[in-house]
Amino acid sequence: MVKSRRVFTREFKLAAIKELESGKPLGYVARQLEVNPNTLHRWRREFREQPMKAFSGQGRRVLAESREAELERKIGQLTMEKDFLKRLLRGFEEQRAAANGGGPSTRRSATKKKP
């Protein structure tokens, strides 16, 4: 399987350099941005050598897209967990009903109060 090459915007690269210049460790910034530390070194060097000409290409990846993808993955994971737990609860309720003689469940809702 061929891995596609990621392309970053000028704004993303400048934000990464700003994080480095704020005193945060290179490894930490690299992990946060999911970028190789050597790439961050190269970006910083290019910016220091020619700040006005650095990163003049057209990039496609932005920081927000990365965060958005992460949140979408989390939503998918939580949805799967919720569905699993619903099926599990339904199975327990069916077992309980079968143990009670097959009649309706005697479980009362926590929101309903007996008059």
Mean pLDDT (the chain) is 83
DSSP 100: T
What are the pLDDT digits (tens) for 35-81?
999 999 999 999 999 888 888 765 555 556 677 888 899 999 999 99
Contact (CB, 8 A) for 29 and 40: yes
Answer yes or no: pTM beyond 0.85: no
Residue 66 confidence (pLDDT): 72
CA distance 47 to 67: 25
Residue 18 confidence (pLDDT): 92
**CATH: 1.10.10.10, 1.10.1750.10, 3.30.420.40, 1.10.340.30. Which one for 1-61?**
1.10.10.10
Asked whether residue 24 carries a pLDDT value surpassing 80, the answer given is: yes
Q: Is 12 exposed, middle or buried (0-12, 13-18, 19+ CB in 10 A)?
A: buried
In the chain the first and final C-alpha atoms are separated, in Å, by: 66
